[in-house]
Chain A
Amino acid sequence: MVKAVRYPVGNSSGTNKLRFAGNTGIDIMQFRFGFLLLAGAVLAALLPSAARAEWPTYRHDLQRTGVAPEPLPQGLKETWRFTAKHAPEPAWPGPARRDGWHKSDPLKPRMIFDWAFHITESGGKLYFGSSADDKLYCLDAATGEERWSFFAEGPIRLAPTLYQGKAYFGADDGYVYCLNAETGEEIWRHKAAPEDYRLPGNARIMSIYPVRTGVLVDNDIAYFCGGIFTFEGAYVCAVDANTGKALWKKKLRDSAQGYMLASADKLYVARGRVNPIVLQRADGAFLYAHDGAGGSFTVLVDDYLFYGPGKTGQIEAARSDRNDNLVTFQGNQIVVNQGRAFMQTDTEMSALDRTRYLKLAEEKNVLSDEHDQLKEKLKELKKAEAPTDAQKAEIDTLVARMEELSRAMLPYDKQMQECLQWKVPCKYPYSLIMAGEQLFCGGMDGVAAIQAADGATAWEAPVDGRALELAISNQSLFVSTDKGIIHCFSATAK
């Protein structure tokens, strides 16, 4: 049953205000940003709606950047809200309250892929799957009214991918579905599971091979994984996106939970609590697993993979061609846009010159790697009870070089600290995306826009529940909360 409420234009329940940073004195820099914003908004408003950017897959693109291609207009007001019949039923509960052994708390949830309905949008229609009533929903993006729904045989936990008029999604029933995005009619379904074995799992009867990676579609190929138990086998599959016919299927030694990402030649697979793995895109061959503190949030930007939130809120950054992590940021989520990275912790938002920061980190790592290698070599040499003169000389050389490396590394910490552009208190810790020069972030019962230039809060509005998922499309901001409510904020009534 649809419970959509359409608000008349200008009748917002939010504290909708777009302001330039610093009401009591606008400096030149801020004014310039404000002008750019305004110009962007005007430009966006002038664009024909057909040309407006979409949000066709989770966090907009196959790299899950969370960056919309165009800014949102000013004056966002709530234009409708959709209240699902049932709130989401997440697969997994939260973490323990405390790591008693390490005396560490609070711990972060690392299996956070389905705590709210995840939204995608294309062609003026908004889509999400429900973990509660097993339906894929299609709403009118302008009004929030339900257009159609489709039943799977198990919870749908991740967002559908919209591609060439079709909606692709997986479910806990072990199937991947392809529907006509306009009508909801089934085009094909593909069983990821080698057998139809269902059991009580996460308080439902479900397949032992659930599809919990979403479906990544690119170049007419749909990629997904089925199965979460390594002892039962999990599979990575590629099928023809038009027919559902299998192209290849590879058995994994890993549990696949969370969205997949893609680069030109690789697939990145989130693994719930642990770190992502990397597969060869051509055939699914396993390449390597990343190091780090784990988590199912992943973003791929240029040559770097960012993932977290780790044990207590850390985002790891790793070169996408290496398994070891390069650097660790404090944060729950991250948005990387061109040369900047924006980090969101429980209490703060910050901006970093990420190009310079990662360059410095790489340089430091080169020195650090050499230092570590020499240290190991030194340890071996020192095992000799009666070292030869040659060994003694080598030890001296190693020690000298290690001291040299240590000295060389010293300036880096300071230089890396200088990459911090701004840091501001922020009460919106749950979700983070970006459009134009604004960051949009979700918190408890609210959502806000933050100026990317200086961290100033530009706009705030209330929502019902924890704003866990955000999407920007069709000149609107969509906010999905843990209560199963989707809010639409637009500049004008649709």
Chain B
Amino acid sequence: MKHRILTSCLIAAIAGLALAAQAQEPTAHWRFNQSSLNANQIVDTAGKNPVTVEGALSFGGTAAEEAMLVDLNNTKLALPEKVAEAGLPVDALTVEAWVAIERTVEWGQILSAAKIAGGLEKGWLLGTRQGNFSFGLASEGADDGDGKIAYARDHHTLEWGRWYHVAGTYDGATMRLYVNGMLADESTEQSGKILYGRSVDHQFGGGTDGGWRGWLYESAVFDRALPAEEIQARYAAKKDLFPEALRVALGPWVNRISKDAIRIGWETETPSPSRLLFSEGVALDREFGSAELGTRHEVEVTGLKPETLYNYRIAFNDAQGKTQLTRLHEFDSNFDYTAPQVDAKPYAYANEAEAERFGALATRILSESGIRKGYALIVGSGEGRLAYELAWRSELQVICIDDDPQRAQRVRRKLDDANVYGVRAQVHVAPLDQLPYSAIVANLILSEDLLTGARVPGKTEELLRVLRPYGGQISLGALPDFNETATPVPAAEFQAWLSAGPAMDWKTLPGNGTWATYTRPALAGAGEWTHQYGNATNNTNSGDTIAGGEMAAQWFGEPGPRPMVDRGTRAPAPLTANGRLYVQGDRRLFGMDAYNGTILWTLEIPDLRRANIPRDSSNMVVNGDDLYVAVRERCWVLDGQTGALKTTWLLPDQQDPDAMDWGYMASVGDQVFGSAVRQGGLFIGADGEWYDEAGEQSEKVVSAQLFALDRATGEKQWTYEGGAVINSSITVGGDRLYFVESRGTDALQQEKGRLGGELAQDRFLVAVDKNTGEKIWERPYNVSNATYVLYLMYQDDRIIALNSSDKWDMYAFGTGDGELLWEQHYSWLRDHHGGAMTHPAIIGGKIYAEPKIIDFKTGQVLADSPKRDHGCGTIAASDRVILFRDGEHGMWDYTEDTRARWNDFRPGCWLGMLPAAGLVLAPETSAGCWCAGQPMQSSVAFAPKAK
């Protein structure tokens, strides 16, 4: 991108000198600033068509002179609709604009004079198509009866917030699109006069997709096609008004720290002062300086209002010391998942010494267990003192259980007087040995009754039943100082109680047999989902053997629909490992407790977004307690428990941070694998794009380089550069990476990081050593085309490849030298709603590949897969069940051949439900769906019902 801009600048400068004096005679010209505003109209300085503005008006922006903020959800910018009245050009046309788009939509119009409805396509429009500038026009020569618009389209992805000069020209024979003075695309589909109806939708913005958001500086229309030199000159004449740098070195990122406060962080290239400019609207009149001269900057913004949209930019110094501004970021204060704040008062009836003792104990328990969020059960509530001390010292939800209703009532009153009842602490009346809770739910289990000497808390097997695995802790005992009024439970009795239950690895305090802790380990039989398709082999199978059979809800709640990708369309899958669930919403991450749904942390990253995963790979994997997330040219390494940014790794060997993005991602053992994709190659999906059709939506994202890093240090181990590596094919199995790459001339030369029709050319199946990157073998991938999708999976020394073009074509290759072992071909279920894209799963000796079940060894079709209702996503499997959209959340337990359908929720349109961690985990993915059939929008998890 930078290279292109520099080249265009040079050409434009030369052209500008030659053409500076040439007369320029637009038929309309608008300058979008306050001085051009006459009442509610932007004057037309060249013609007779002022722009009538309805709605919100804001001026500002990053250009040297002010521009107008266009938020087309709130603003309408209308021009005369009668073609004759508007004096629209007929024989030839140039339409140009200086524009900075802060948020694209699927079809965005900058300036249009078009009529598009049903089959009707007339007029012209300069705008955007997803992330690219485009110029469309209909002519009499290509009229098919009701008009037909052809489009020229830039294949570079525009950068949000960056200023561009965009121009479309038509000379009666050729349409041309220029971006920053350079020819971006041209089309000769049209000829003759421009075809209009009697009236057109003549406006800035508009269209059925609602509006893009951004800045308009200037726009003009000519009744002739300006030659390339003149376009370049016009670009050159004003380009210095518009800044180039838009990005800080890293970030920004946003952490919520309380109901009314956030922390925004970022890094600058060099140590320098940096400021956050923040406000409701775009005034950005609240300024938060980072006083320290360093590269890492963090500021706290307080006083936030609920349910409010804020905007912010970061002011920073570039390498030349010049102050630059980032693009306009948005912060939505709806996204608040912090625990309710309480103004805790001293616990009623506790004397000072008692409060000190209980407080010290609570502090010690919190510190030693490391558990500060989730659910704590106090089995045997005592007088609620421990509950109170835990509640206000942590973010735990504390549940006291007591079988004495009178005492429960007394404790409630005390906790209520202390301001913590309900929102942070509750008291339930229930038998201590028969707790009414879902299993494996509690993070921490304590007992005040035992502590104060009254009694043991029910049965250890019941405590174990409700204790969460992966670190849930029981911490119990009687301490001398706490036994004021009752006879302590004797040490021998306590020990006998511990021993009476199931075998548990209790730790007792040395020299004191009356305090014991138990930390529950991993759940035997629970699988993990660490990569998009389960693991790095892409077999879509967690290996979980627990989830299945008759299931009950385990938890439900946040995150709800607002932070999620609309309908989860082709979005990255959630992941789970070590008892945590990681969910990627729309530019934000959630770290959650898989067993009780507690949101451990959230992190908002404006540059975090990946879409069209069937034609790409996910941007997120987990290995142990580390979460790896690809954001632009870096991998962010996050602590799974806290969400803290531990470090970031840059793409290796890349000089220009704007040239390449981090594409593929996997982590196995001590390694992290990645790939470099040309900037603009990744699908972003900013506005509910569906990615369900052939054509440009099914272009495959390709990588120019593969590499491996040391997971501990981030140091590069090897790189591989061959052809254009198809991201959706990259598979890690055994000691190797397998992938399909295309080495056709077009593939190697293409600049956009995606392959469409070129994909059929010179394809090779390649195996490289995962430790060295050395190529082990390759073989031509001379099999069927893959218009829709191309997947590879690995299992048991075989590579299963799946192409879809007009049907499914499956191939099995040996890993020895890539020999073809068998192939199978079968019809699609449908060519829409994901029917041509479903990713298969390997389960035991079978490949579950809708609509067939295929023998892994022979390729023979064994059976049809069970039919399911209205679907749009793909499947997720374990060693027991397959999950899918069956209208709603659906499950097939193939070991019992039973079906479950949870009618209250609608899943998303890719892979949003996981059969792992011993559960079915289903974060909310319906988001913007109207979904009149499902009564709730909620994240939810299911667990097997106790037998």
Contact = CB atoms under 8 A, between A and B. Distances in A.
A394 interface: no
A94 B556 CA distance: 15
Interface stretch (B10-18, B243-251, B715-723, B900-908): B900-908
A10 interface: no
A103 B421 contact: no
B416 interface: yes
Interface in B368-417: 375, 397, 399, 409, 412, 416-417
A229 B553 contact: yes
Given A89-B423, A205-B397, A231-B904, A200 B596 contact: yes
A159 to B, nearest CB: 18
Interface of B: 73, 105-106, 208-210, 307, 332, 334, 340, 342, 375, 397, 399, 409, 412, 416-417, 419, 421-423, 426-430, 436-438, 441, 552-558, 560-562, 564, 566-567, 569, 596-598, 687-690, 900-904, 927-938
Nearest to A254: B935
A153 B438 contact: no
Q: Identify the interface centre among B900, B902, B936: most chain A CB within 10 Å of its CB.
A: B936
A19 interface: no
A94 B438 contact: no
Contacts of A201: 553, 555-557
A141 interface: no
Contacts of B105: 103
A13 interface: no
Contacts of B930: 99, 102, 293, 311
Interface string A255-281: 101000000000000011111000000
**By DSSP majority rule, is chain B's interface helix, strand, loop, or mixed?**
loop
B375 A107 contact: no
Contacts of B422: 86, 89, 130, 132-135, 155
A111 interface: yes
B927 to A, nearest CB: 4
Contact of B928 (A92, A96, A203, A230): A96
Interface of A: 1, 85-86, 89, 92-105, 107, 111, 130, 132-135, 151, 153-155, 196-205, 208, 228-232, 254-255, 257, 271-275, 292-294, 311
Nearest to A275: B932
A200 B564 CA distance: 21
Contact of A199 (B342, B419, B438, B687): B438
B498 to A, nearest CB: 26
Contacts of B423: 86, 89, 132-133
Contacts of A272: 935-936
Contacts of B419: 85
B423 to A, nearest CB: 5
A199 B935 contact: no
Given A86-B340, A255-B935, A274-B933, A98 B566 contact: yes
B209 A103 contact: yes
B937 A95 contact: yes
Contacts of B933: 274
A95 B555 contact: no
Contacts of A86: 340, 342, 422-423
Nearest to A91: B557
Contacts of B936: 92, 111, 228, 255, 272-273
A227 B434 CA distance: 22
A102 B902 CA distance: 25
B426 A205 contact: yes
9 contacts: A85-B416, A92-B938, A100-B688, A103-B687, A200-B555, A231-B903, A254-B935, A255-B904, A271-B935
Given A132-B423, A205-B375, A100 B928 contact: yes
Contacts of A229: 553, 902, 904
Contacts of A102: 928, 930
Nearest to B437: A198
Contact of A273 (B596, B689, B902, B931): B931
Q: Identify the interface centre among B209, B342, B930: most chain A CB within 10 Å of its CB.
A: B930
B237 to A, nearest CB: 36
Given A89-B423, A205-B397, A153 B429 contact: yes
A104 B688 CA distance: 11
Contacts of A135: 416, 422
A201 B938 CA distance: 10
B598 A98 contact: no
A200 B426 CA distance: 13
A101 B904 contact: no
Nearest to A296: B935
Nearest to B688: A100
Given A96-B928, A197-B438, 8 more contacts: A86-B342, A86-B423, A97-B928, A101-B566, A104-B928, A199-B553, A200-B556, A231-B900
A202 B556 contact: yes
Given A155-B422, A255-B936, A311-B930, A100 B555 contact: no
A99 B375 contact: no
A274 B934 contact: yes
Contacts of A101: 566-567, 569, 688, 690, 928-929
B210 A93 contact: no
Nearest to A293: B932
A104 B938 CA distance: 21
B945 to A, nearest CB: 10
A232 B936 CA distance: 14
A235 to B, nearest CB: 15
A404 B889 CA distance: 47
Nearest to A271: B935
Given A101-B690, A254-B935, A93 B596 contact: no
B412 A205 contact: no
A208 B106 CA distance: 41
Contacts of B562: 93-97
Nearest to A103: B209
A92 to B, nearest CB: 7
A274 B935 contact: yes
Contact of A202 (B307, B557, B689): B557
A201 to B, nearest CB: 5
Contacts of A154: 426
B552 A273 contact: no
A197 B438 CA distance: 7
A391 B551 CA distance: 55
Contacts of A111: 936
B566 A232 contact: no
Contact of A96 (B106, B417, B566, B902): B566
Given A100-B566, A132-B340, A272-B935, A94 B553 contact: no
Contacts of B554: 199-200
Given A132-B340, A133-B416, A93 B560 contact: yes
Given A133-B423, A228-B935, A99 B688 contact: yes
Nearest to A273: B935
Query: Across chains A and B, which 10 residue pairs bring their CB atoms closest together, nearest first?
Result: A100-B688, A133-B422, A100-B566, A99-B928, A93-B560, A255-B935, A200-B555, A272-B935, A96-B928, A96-B561
Contacts of A273: 931-932, 934-937
A96 B586 CA distance: 11
B430 A196 contact: yes
Contacts of B426: 134, 153-154, 204-205
A210 B560 CA distance: 19
A288 B626 CA distance: 51
